[in-house]
Each structure stands twice: as structure tokens, then as C-alpha cells.
Amino acid sequence: MPEDLATLQAVLRWAGLEVPPERLQDLQPLWKALRERLARLEALPLEDVEPAFIAPILPIPS
């Protein structure tokens, strides 16, 4: 199993979901898109964004 699918499986297990390996293959494009979007979000300058808006999305370091 490729590393990204192993990570997806670990995330799903952490969420309490058991997904068969063949089903993980079907989810791979969605997982890749989510990781790309999160990477773009992390790259944004968030200094001027209201903390209440981003709190549900990213943990804010104290």
C-alpha cells in the first residue's frame, strides 16, 4: 500500500472508521485533493484573518 494510502487509512481509523483496502483506492483522488488544499491553506498569510474564522480549520498556536 502506498504511503499516502497508509496515512489515509490511519486517519480513518483515528476517526473510528474501518475501510477495506480496495475502498481506499477509490478514496485516493479525494485524499490527494484534500492534502493539496490543506497545503495551500497553510501557505496563506493568515495574520489579517479573524481568528474566529480560522479556528475551526487550523489550530492557532498560543
Q: Of 58 and 36, which is predicted with more confidence? A: 36
For residue 59, the model assigns a pLDDT of 55
Q: In this model, does residue 62 exceed pLDDT 80?
A: no
Q: What is the pTM of this model?
A: 0.58
Q: How many CB atoms lie within 10 A of CB 12?
A: 16
pLDDT at 18: 92
pLDDT above 50: residue 2 = yes
Inter-axis angle of helices 3-14 and 21-43, to 10 degrees? Answer: 90
Q: Give a yes or no: residue 57 inside a domain.
A: no
Please check whether residue 52 lies inside any domain of the structure.
Answer: no
Q: How far apart are CA 8 and CA 27, in angstroms?
A: 9
Question: pLDDT-based confidence at 1, cuts 50/70/90?
Answer: very low
Total domain count for the chain?
1
Structural domain of residue 6, as residue ranges? 1-37
Residue 58 maps to a domain: no
In a domain, 43, yes or no: no
Whether the per-residue pLDDT at 25 is higher than 70: the answer is yes
In this structure, is residue 46 part of a structural domain?
A: no
Cβ atoms of 8 and 28 within 8 Å: the answer is yes
